[in-house]
Amino acid sequence: MKNKTYIPLFLLLLVALTVSGCKYYNFTGAGTINAKTFQVNYFQNYADLVEPGLERDFTIALQDLILTQTNLSLVPSGGELVYEGEITDFRISPMTATADQRSAQNRVNMSVKVRFSNKNNEKDDFEKSFSFFYDYPADQQLTGATLQNAKTALFERILQDIFNESLAKW
């Protein structure tokens, strides 16, 4: 009879410990964030190859990622967390050649320099470059669907790396 009364108490204790553990971990991977607001300053494009709208799309994608992965509020200025920087490289390079010395595959590289500051915890501040690449067949132009696929892959990886470095601490 005594064992049956311990089972509900044990289950209640187990549930309480599980729920309280969510205070220290969440499913997005972000650690405990000591802030309520963030701002993303416009990322200028200083790359030699200028892709129209790249800087706007990148800035908006960073804002969207942080909004969807955290409970932080986006503010135009005075944010506790500040992201700023510039696109430093966006270039296309041939990667592999065919037997007749023609390019079979091209690679688009993108690099972004990011300055992150946390007004509540200055030891989290950093200035770092993030980069990634996307390969595509040489018989395709970097326009239309190919460009959109490249931007999606590049942004996804670079933005996740920025998020991990600034908020997840991975």
Residue 9 confidence (pLDDT): 61
Distance CA 84, CA 40 (A): 6
Residue 28 confidence (pLDDT): 45
- 102 backbone dihedrals φ, ψ, rounded to 5°: -105, 155
DSSP 86-135: EEEEEEEEEEEE-TTS-EEEEEEEEEEEEEEEETT-GGG-EEEEEEEEEE
Amino acid letter, residue 85 = G
pTM to 2 decimals?
0.79
Instruction: Give residue-wise pLDDT tens across range 85-109.
Output: 999 999 999 887 776 777 789 999 9
64-84: average pLDDT: 96
Residue 149 confidence (pLDDT): 96
- pLDDT of 24 > 50? The answer is no
- pLDDT of 165 > 90? The answer is yes
| Confidence band, pLDDT 50/70/90 cuts, at residue 34 | confident
Distance CA 95, CA 105 (A): 5
